[in-house]
Chain A
């Protein structure tokens, strides 16, 4: 009896005592503007952008920072100098040192994964308030030396005699020291993401015209949403540049003037001869950070905090990278809904990540396809998701795709749309390198 409260903090004891799992509330969701890489954020770092988002999120939500148990952050191409970014966010911004932190990498699912872990720990009663999110600043990535150069340098540092060093230097090939920028390629297949998307487009017979149409809609929807002020609560201003002279308070890659005609004139970039993927119908290299503040429902009630919505369930799928690398959402969405006894039409808002227009269309087609659904999911066809429910404020093609930050952006965005439309459920789905996909079920009330 006397230990009641401390035991309550642990899920197992809760289950044993028959008490219900905590619901997980989203009490805050903000992000930096998403901007073209190597541009206005070139003097920023993954750390600076992340902690700006994190501190602003805490300040706007109005929680006591010391109530936060943990910070979980995602980044796909991490800097070696602050490998555990999540903890550095806490320490460098002067937040209470009691907030623990860890950093994870699950490719483009990273920040969805941070939200899932945070939600699970809250649900188990281990934590009450958690900061989750992710970042990507491609302007701030480590440029490693080649393997040969690395071996030479470590040998040199261990060499004992002058003679030994001299002979090592004699063996040097200057070519080794050409820096190797990180490639956005699949290590397992050796192909780039674009190559894989091309394979998907061919396999699913996705025409160039359909892709350009989707890209056009992405820009058009994003521009309209920005104009209407729908992103006002989501995007925080950033002062950047060497003397903080650059003020950024909007995404800078959305083209309101984009037309299908103009998009159709772009040349394919991956398969230059027969390909259909262009710079216009793929998501661009992007810098940005995005964060969520997640809390247990009892904490929310106790502190009388306003809530954006609730995280209901998560699912991750893995597929064979050699088949269709980015098809994950087509598996994850039907499975997630089935698991929660919901049907396609129960969902009011779908946010399906736009890595490539062709990849989104492949997923949507697959979910309609009887053969795919039977063979891969052992389900009847999922059916067609109405266009007015998908990405109605644009997607990554227009807004941009900082790998580690996209998932968290989509959760905030989906909940805000669902609230505005008075909807109940929203689904977010994101494909990821390595042949993975994640889907999240959200509830507004």
Chain B
């Protein structure tokens, strides 16, 4: 019966069982199932044959891929959307394929286990019924907006018709995922079953619904006819035009607040949903295809897809399998099973943040500080982080407690005896780093323990110089606040062993971080390019620029905070120290106004002592502190915002390029990742290198030359711009 059904992509298996067609997806060539053009062609070819079978009583689509139903469209599909027309056609092709399932005369059922995202969920939504498993890997969502597009396979039309408008917007506009339990609650799935019962329950449902298929309402009309329970509130809000107008208004406001209008995708997705629900499905789908096509060719989407690609690539441990396995066995396994703990030196903002994230990932830590008061603050910050999550109902009380308990405070290095990895976050001074390194060497039984140093500017080889085993010293640069900032910059010296780097890579992965592995050098990558940018901002102040002009210009460019605000947040003392370290290394081109030294000297530390470039009222940033201008012998003048942004950005791009020239970073992609996840470079621009390519490398070079003539050597184009 199924002999004439062939899967050219080799992803599908077709099977008939008691007249029910079972379509099984499993792409052996990849870790997940993701839709390629070949797969879609397969469905296009086989579905008409299946549907034309007279004895057919139902269709079940399932996956035998490990913990994955379908993760959405393969990212390679994006390359085919070269024009708006191609995008619209792509979306319409998807609609046609989804419609095989939606319009079938027999029940169609999606049996979902594992990730079910994007196109995967749209396929499931096209089916008449959905069942999913209780397993924790089962996650459903439409993350398309995170790629700068909208669900183009009918998602914007079918989801609101299945679960209601507000619930649908909640998923579509944010891209967030729900687990099986939540999916059942909001009506996204019809049943929630244990993994080993999924198949038989799907068959049973299929038999039960024969001849009595639930169809989606065509339009929501005046009174909603949504599925699921009769819900007065939903009807009151969504079932009339006034309520829907209110939803539109509020959702738009929410999107504008969170995107600052930089990302068109959520707005278009909102438009697709809200216009679509007023009209028949077919017309709604047409609107979806149209809006989808507008987004796929946008620069924002290209940038976000670029980021997605490089993020995925960077998740792979770059070392050989043998190295990885050794490192895992020696350093990581003992941490994951609770046998040993990570030593964290220093209970300050960084140390306690690192402990917090490790505890959250169920890794035990011993947090060491010289002073009981330091540990007090550190422990407080750990416990308030989890208390906060408990209050927001993200975790249960027992999770809160066990996570807090995973951090053991200590003032004594002897408690590190069995720690395979120590992360130090003590004061930024090579002498102190050497001192704690020695103490670790004296206390830890295993001479091969890894000493990961969380420094933002000290050269790693200088720290390693004090070590008995310099091959086990590696830089692990976290960003503050650690639980929030997604990047870890791993810094290797020419002596660092691959095992040590691999172990630290795995640990950072366990901590849920995005990682770049860079070479040692003053300020590594992120600190160096940021320092050049902040120094440029200070130069502008020295030339008479106003604090608020500098910050506003950069925020307008897309940075989350302006460079002067950032300096206040980091601490003027810390920033000044870093800039000085870099000035020593790059004095031939880095220009730093002398005034900053005097500013740091008058005990202006920024937010931490409520005295910085800004005034602070009740711990909140207020107006710029104009008394700071007395340090500069210049009248304040109005600077053009574009000029400020150009200077701060081009010096940043140029220094990033130099890092690539000097092989501090190994690729443009790493440069983009580091800037986006470590420094808040605007994602819609795709990272400094992606952005430079959009601008055109040649144009960047010209602009740099022009700036170099006006402002000096720091703008002299790096060799990178020549090619």
Task: Write the residues of chain A forming the contact surface with B, with a CB cutoff of 8 angstroms.
Answer: 47-48, 51-52, 55-56, 59-66, 91-97, 237, 239, 243-245, 247, 249
Minimal Cβ-Cβ distance residue in B for A68: B339
Q: Taking the complex as formed, is B405 at the interface, i.e. its CB lies under 8 A from any CB of chain A?
A: yes
- Interface CB pairs A-B, < 8 A, 10: A59-B410, A59-B416, A60-B415, A62-B414, A64-B340, A66-B337, A93-B406, A96-B339, A239-B409, A244-B379
Q: List B contacts of A65 (CB < 8 A).
A: 338-340, 418
Q: List A contacts of B408 (CB < 8 A).
A: 52, 55-56, 59
Asked whether A94 and B383 contact (CB < 8 A) given A59-B408, A62-B445, A245-B376, the answer is no
Q: Shortest beta-carbon distance, A44 to chain B, in Å? A: 12
Beyond A52-B408, A59-B416, A66-B334, 12 additional contacts (C-beta under 8 Å) are A59-B417, A59-B418, A60-B412, A61-B417, A62-B445, A64-B418, A66-B337, A91-B402, A93-B402, A237-B372, A237-B409, A247-B376
Minimal Cβ-Cβ distance residue in A for B363: A94
Q: Taking the complex as formed, is B384 at the interface, i.e. its CB lies under 8 A from any CB of chain A?
A: yes
Q: Which residue of A48, A66, A245 contacts B339 across the interface (Cβ within 8 Å)?
A: A66
Interface residues in B430-453 by Cβ distance below 8 A to A read 445
Minimal Cβ-Cβ distance residue in A for B402: A92
Q: List B contacts of A249 (CB < 8 A).
A: 372
Q: Shortest beta-carbon distance, A95 to chain B, in Å? A: 5
Minimal Cβ-Cβ distance residue in A for B375: A239
Q: List A contacts of B405 (CB < 8 A).
A: 48, 51-52, 55, 92-94
Contact across chains for B338 and A244 when beta carbons are under 8 A apart: no
Minimal Cβ-Cβ distance residue in A for B377: A244
Contact across chains for B418 and A92 when beta carbons are under 8 A apart: no
Q: Taking the complex as formed, is B603 at the interface, i.e. its CB lies under 8 A from any CB of chain A?
A: no
Asked whether A60 and B380 contact (CB < 8 A) given A65-B338, A66-B337, A93-B406, the answer is no
Total count of chain B residues near the partner, CB < 8 A: 34
Q: List A contacts of B340 (CB < 8 A).
A: 64-65
In whole angstroms, what is the CA distance A55 to B418 when docked? Answer: 12
Binary contact track B384-407/A, C-beta < 8 Å → 1, others 0: 100000000000001001100110
Q: Taking the complex as formed, is B366 at the interface, i.e. its CB lies under 8 A from any CB of chain A?
A: yes
Contact across chains for A55 and B337 when beta carbons are under 8 A apart: no
Q: List B contacts of A47 (CB < 8 A).
A: 401
Asked whether A244 and B417 contact (CB < 8 A) given A55-B408, A65-B338, the answer is no
Minimal Cβ-Cβ distance residue in B for A91: B402
Q: Shortest beta-carbon distance, B242 to chain A, in Å? A: 42
In whole angstroms, what is the CA distance A95 to B340 when docked? Answer: 8
Task: Write the residues of chain B forming the contact surface with A, with a CB cutoff of 8 angstroms.
Answer: 334, 337-341, 362-364, 366, 372-373, 375-376, 379-380, 383-384, 398, 401-402, 405-406, 408-412, 414-418, 445
> For B373, B380, B405, which residue has the most chain A Cβ atoms within 10 angstroms?
B405
Asked whether A97 and B338 contact (CB < 8 A) given A60-B414, A237-B411, A243-B380, the answer is yes
Contact across chains for A94 and B338 when beta carbons are under 8 A apart: yes
Asked whether A239 and B376 contact (CB < 8 A) given A56-B408, A60-B414, A60-B415, the answer is yes
Contact across chains for B372 and A94 when beta carbons are under 8 A apart: no
Give me the 9 closest cross-chain CB pairs, A-B, nearest first: A62-B417, A59-B415, A244-B379, A66-B339, A247-B372, A96-B338, A92-B402, A94-B406, A243-B380
Contact across chains for B364 and A55 when beta carbons are under 8 A apart: yes
Q: Which residue of B334, B338, B410 contacts A56 across the interface (Cβ within 8 Å)?
A: B410
In whole angstroms, what is the CA distance A51 to B402 when docked? Answer: 10
Q: Shortest beta-carbon distance, A10 to chain B, in Å? A: 25
Q: List B contacts of A64 (CB < 8 A).
A: 334, 339-340, 418
Q: List A contacts of B416 (CB < 8 A).
A: 59
In whole angstroms, what is the CA distance A247 to B378 when docked? Answer: 13
In whole angstroms, what is the CA distance A52 to B418 when docked? Answer: 17
Q: Shortest beta-carbon distance, A48 to chain B, in Å? A: 7
Q: List A contacts of B445 (CB < 8 A).
A: 62
In whole angstroms, what is the CA distance A96 to B334 when docked? Answer: 9
Contact across chains for B364 and A94 when beta carbons are under 8 A apart: yes
Q: List A contacts of B411 (CB < 8 A).
A: 237
In whole angstroms, what is the CA distance A243 to B339 when docked? Answer: 28
Q: Shortest beta-carbon distance, B60 to chain A, in Å? A: 38
Q: List B contacts of A61 (CB < 8 A).
A: 417
Contact across chains for B415 and A245 when beta carbons are under 8 A apart: no
Contact across chains for A93 and B375 when beta carbons are under 8 A apart: no
Q: List B contacts of A92 (CB < 8 A).
A: 398, 401-402, 405
Q: Shortest beta-carbon distance, A101 to chain B, in Å? A: 14
Q: List B contacts of A51 (CB < 8 A).
A: 405
Q: Shortest beta-carbon distance, B195 to chain A, in Å? A: 22
In whole angstroms, what is the CA distance A243 to B405 when docked? Answer: 14
Q: Shortest beta-carbon distance, B435 to chain A, in Å? A: 21
Q: List B contacts of A96 (CB < 8 A).
A: 337-339
In whole angstroms, what is the CA distance A65 to B417 when docked? Answer: 12
Q: List B contacts of A245 (CB < 8 A).
A: 376, 380
Q: List B contacts of A52 (CB < 8 A).
A: 405, 408
Q: Shortest beta-carbon distance, A102 to chain B, in Å? A: 19
In whole angstroms, what is the CA distance A271 to B343 when docked? Answer: 54
Q: List A contacts of B417 (CB < 8 A).
A: 59-62
Minimal Cβ-Cβ distance residue in B for A99: B338
Minimal Cβ-Cβ distance residue in A for B366: A59
Contact across chains for A244 and B383 when beta carbons are under 8 A apart: yes
Contact across chains for A95 and B338 when beta carbons are under 8 A apart: yes
In whole angstroms, what is the CA distance A105 to B394 when docked? Answer: 36
In whole angstroms, what is the CA distance A143 to B341 when docked? Answer: 37
Contact across chains for A243 and B384 when beta carbons are under 8 A apart: yes
Minimal Cβ-Cβ distance residue in A for B408: A55
Minimal Cβ-Cβ distance residue in B for A244: B379
Minimal Cβ-Cβ distance residue in B for A249: B372
Q: Shortest beta-carbon distance, A231 to chain B, in Å? A: 15
Contact across chains for B362 and A94 when beta carbons are under 8 A apart: yes
Minimal Cβ-Cβ distance residue in A for B412: A60
Q: Shortest beta-carbon distance, A407 to chain B, in Å? A: 24
In whole angstroms, what is the CA distance A418 to B529 when docked? Answer: 63
Q: List A contacts of B418 (CB < 8 A).
A: 59, 62-65
Q: List B contacts of A243 (CB < 8 A).
A: 376, 380, 383-384
Q: List A contacts of B339 (CB < 8 A).
A: 64-66, 96
Q: List B contacts of A59 (CB < 8 A).
A: 341, 366, 408, 410, 414-418
In whole angstroms, what is the CA distance A65 to B412 when docked? Answer: 19
Q: Shortest beta-carbon distance, B447 to chain A, in Å? A: 14
Q: Shortest beta-carbon distance, A402 to chain B, in Å? A: 20
In whole angstroms, what is the CA distance A55 to B402 when docked? Answer: 13
Minimal Cβ-Cβ distance residue in B for A92: B402
In whole angstroms, what is the CA distance A425 to B417 when docked? Answer: 30
In whole angstroms, what is the CA distance A59 to B409 when docked? Answer: 11
Q: Shortest beta-carbon distance, B365 to chain A, in Å? A: 10
In whole angstroms, what is the CA distance A92 to B384 when docked? Answer: 18
In whole angstroms, what is the CA distance A52 to B375 when docked? Answer: 15
In whole angstroms, what is the CA distance A62 to B339 when docked? Answer: 11
In whole angstroms, what is the CA distance A5 to B417 when docked? Answer: 29
Q: List B contacts of A60 (CB < 8 A).
A: 412, 414-415, 417
Minimal Cβ-Cβ distance residue in A for B398: A92
Q: List B contacts of A97 (CB < 8 A).
A: 337-338
> For A62, A66, A245, which residue has the most chain B Cβ atoms within 10 angstroms?
A62
In whole angstroms, what is the CA distance A260 to B530 when docked? Answer: 70
In whole angstroms, what is the CA distance A428 to B341 when docked? Answer: 34
Q: List A contacts of B379 (CB < 8 A).
A: 239, 244
Q: List B contacts of A239 (CB < 8 A).
A: 372, 375-376, 379, 409
In whole angstroms, what is the CA distance A428 to B376 when docked? Answer: 36
Minimal Cβ-Cβ distance residue in B for A93: B405
Contact across chains for A244 and B372 when beta carbons are under 8 A apart: no
In whole angstroms, what is the CA distance A65 to B408 when docked? Answer: 15
Q: List A contacts of B380 (CB < 8 A).
A: 243-245
Q: Shortest beta-carbon distance, B371 to chain A, in Å? A: 10
In whole angstroms, what is the CA distance A155 to B334 when docked? Answer: 51
In whole angstroms, what is the CA distance A95 to B364 when docked? Answer: 8
In whole angstroms, what is the CA distance A51 to B373 when docked? Answer: 22
Q: List B contacts of A56 (CB < 8 A).
A: 408, 410, 415
Q: List B contacts of A244 (CB < 8 A).
A: 375-376, 379-380, 383
In whole angstroms, what is the CA distance A87 to B417 when docked? Answer: 24
Q: List B contacts of A237 (CB < 8 A).
A: 372, 409, 411
